């Protein structure tokens, strides 16, 4: 079942529309950030392949996660509105298995093209910097990107279980994406203000620690924490085990919630 969902989405019109965005955001950013002449705000210059991949991960946060939501937002609501959901729920395949197939099918549909483009990113970095990232760095990069795509797929499918029509499904999915991608900085700022911490002072250890801790509550933040485990120069007060624990929570909780929603799903 997951294979059929994956193939339908992989060769569907939506991915064709989103592919230029992904190409622009992933290899495009890798090309830009690996420029030997690049000077980032604050005078910083990426000097290692992992640093380039870290900065290029903005393309994953802004582009790939949005594509994950746009591929999955109607994963269940479309079948509900067409009547297909009733046929599926009447099959002997347990609902938990159906939920797992839905998750894996939709996740693979976005993960496969993203992984293909990430391999291109690695080649670009090698070409521009004459250096490969280490095996561990590459594995963490690929694994954490796979995880963030999974989280947004889960959010979109969860929204889809509740949505009675497509508009609600897309609003919910994009809303969650927008909240964590653009509005999370506002949440961080508000919490800092309420705690009496100076806002935006990158040299203030209190602000850095607060931002690091709050990032554990956001999937994008956890993604960056995971990548930062391979950046020895970055320390935001979150250890590797805390980042991986956060990742496990962001994976298990929505997965479990989706299984629960599927168990009680009504056509």
The residue ranges that bind another protein (CB under 8 A) are: 1, 4, 8, 12, 81-84, 86-94, 98, 266-267
For residue 156, which of 168, 171, 173, 170 has the smallest C-alpha distance?
173
Closest of 86, 40, 68 to residue 220, by C-alpha: 68
Which residue, 88 or 224, has its beta carbon nearer to another protein? 88
Provide, rounded to whole angstroms, the least separation between the CB of residue 171 and another protein. 18
Residue 253 C-beta: closest distance to another protein, Å: 20
C-beta separation of 236 from 208 below 8 A: yes
Query: How far apart are CB 264 and another protein at their closest, in Å?
Result: 9
Q: How far is the CB of 82 from another protein (least distance, A)?
A: 4
> Closer to another protein at the Cβ: 109 or 140?
109
Distance CA 214, CA 241 (A): 16
Q: Kindly tell me which of 16 and 44 has the beta carbon lying closer to another protein.
A: 16
Instruction: Calculate helix-pair angle for 135-162, 49-59, nearest 10 degrees.
Output: 10
Contacts of 255 (CB under 8 A, 6+ apart): 103, 154
CB nearer to another protein: give 12 or 167. Answer: 12
DSSP SS3 for 44: strand
Least Å distance, CB 8 to another protein, is 7
Choose between 47 and 91: whose C-beta lies nearer to another protein.
Answer: 91
Distances (CA, A) of 267 to 8, 160, 199, 213: 22, 12, 48, 40
Nearer of residues 108 and 145 to another protein, judged by Cβ: 108
> Smallest distance from the beta carbon of 12 to another protein, in angstroms?
8
On whether the CB atoms of residues 121 and 24 are closer than 8 A, the answer is no
């Amino acid at each position: 079942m997951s294979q059929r969902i994956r193939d339908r989405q992989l060769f569907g019109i939506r991915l064709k529309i989103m592919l230029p965005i992904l190409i622009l955001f992933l290899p495009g950013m890798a090309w830009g950030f690996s420029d030997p002449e690049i000077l980032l705000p604050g005078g910083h210059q990426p000097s290692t392949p992992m640093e380039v991949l870290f900065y290029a991960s903005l393309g994953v946060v802004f582009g790939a996660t949005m594509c994950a939501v746009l591929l999955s937002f109607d994963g269940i609501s479309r079948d509900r509105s067409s009547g297909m959901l009733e046929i599926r729920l009447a099959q002997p395949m347990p609902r938990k298995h159906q939920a797992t197939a839905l998750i894996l099918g939709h996740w693979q549909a976005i993960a496969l093209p993203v992984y293909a483009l990430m391999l291109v990113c690695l080649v670009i970095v090698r070409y521009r910097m004459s250096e490969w990232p280490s095996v561990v760095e590459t594995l963490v990069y690929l694994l954490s990107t796979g995880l963030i795509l999974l989280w947004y797929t889960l959010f979109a499918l969860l929204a889809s279980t509740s949505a009675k029509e497509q508009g609600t499904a897309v609003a919910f999915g994009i809303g969650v994406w927008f909240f964590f991608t653009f509005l999370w900085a506002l949440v961080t700022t508000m919490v800092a203000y309420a705690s009496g911490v100076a806002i935006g002072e990158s040299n203030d250890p209190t602000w850095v620690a607060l931002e690091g801790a709050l990032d554990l509550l956001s999937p994008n933040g956890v993604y960056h924490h995971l990548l930062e485990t391979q950046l020895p120069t970055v320390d935001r007060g979150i250890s590797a085990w805390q980042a991986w624990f956060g990742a496990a929570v962001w994976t298990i909780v929505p997965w479990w919630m989706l299984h629960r929603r599927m168990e009680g799903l009504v056509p």
